[in-house]
Amino acid sequence: AQTVTQSQPEMSVQEAETVTLSCTYDTSESDYYLFWYKQPPSRQMILVIRQEAYKQQNATENRFSVNFQKAAKSFSLKISDSQLGDAAMYFCAYRNIPENSGNTPLVFGKGTRLSVIA
């Protein structure tokens, strides 16, 4: 079974600085998707960014970018120019792409709580 590990339960960053959240995963599959979700105090789960494993280029969404290292099974999230609104719990998630027409659920890590210091 696939597992997702987020080794940093808590992180903090100064406003306007850059922070990187770590995520590693364990899989024997070659095709899959990776995601980062943000959960602010409102509890809503918000998709931040996603990465297809077959794409070598790292995904970017405005101030959010990833460093995808397929061989190392690493998928870190970099937040640039951190803002107070970035304070939240961040979850890394994995979704396998079956070879047949089957389907698979998302598997989540335990999360990293990010604090932004003004």
Partner 1 sequence: DAEITQSPRHKITETGRQVTLACHQTWNHNNMFWYRQDLGHGLRLIHYSYGVQDTNKGEVSDGYSVSRSNTEDLPLTLESAASSQTSVYFCASSPGRVTEAFFGQGTRLTVV
Of the residues 19, 79, 86, 109, which one makes contact with partner 1 according to CB under 8 A: 109
Cα separation, 110 vs 58, in Å, equals: 23
Contact status: 73 vs partner 1 (CB under 8 A): no
Cα separation, 3 vs 27, in Å, equals: 7
Please compute, for residue 13, the number of CA atoms within 13 A of its CA located in the half-sphere on the CB side.
21
Q: How far is the CB of 116 from partner 1 (least distance, A)?
A: 21
Residues that bind partner 1 (CB under 8 A): 6, 9, 33, 35, 43-45, 47, 50, 91, 95, 97-98, 101-111
